[in-house]
Amino acid sequence: MHVQFFQDAEELIKAVPGLTDGYYHKGFALYHLDDYAGAAHSFQQALNLNPGDRVLRQGFWDAVTLLSQHRRDDTPVVGAPTRTKSVAPTLAWLHEQKLAAREQAAREQAEGQKLK
C-alpha cells in the first residue's frame, strides 16, 4: 500500500513540482516504508515551499528522530536509544488532521461559491 502511495506521490511531484502535497505524501509513504532519511528529505522539500506548515515540520522531526535512533548497520551502540513506534501514531494523527483541514477548506470554498 505504501509503495503505491509513494509512486502516486512521485507522479504528483512530476506533474506539479511546486505543490507541497506531493512531497508530503512522499514523505509519509517513505516514513512508513522505514526510509526515514528519504522521508525527512521529502518533508524538507515541502518545507522549502511552505516553511510555516506545522504538519510538515512535525513530519520532518518525526523522521529525523527515528533516523537518529535507527542505525543502518547492526552494530549496537552502548546507551543508544532503541527504535520506538511511539512517533508513528503522531504522524498518522497529523496526516488525518491535514486531510480533515483540506476537506473543511473545500467545503467552505464550495459554500462560499454557492452564496455568490
Domain locations along the chain:
2-115
pLDDT at 90: 63
Q: What is the pTM of this model?
A: 0.62
Mean pLDDT in consecutive groups of 10 residues from the start of the chain, 116 residues: 85 92 92 90 94 92 86 48 52 72 82 74
Cα–Cα distances (Å) from 103 to 14, 48, 113, in that order, read: 24, 24, 15
pLDDT at 74: 52
pLDDT at 58: 92
Q: Which CATH superfamily is domain 2-115 in?
A: Tetratricopeptide repeat domain (1.25.40.10)
pLDDT at 27: 93
pLDDT at 5: 81
pLDDT at 93: 64
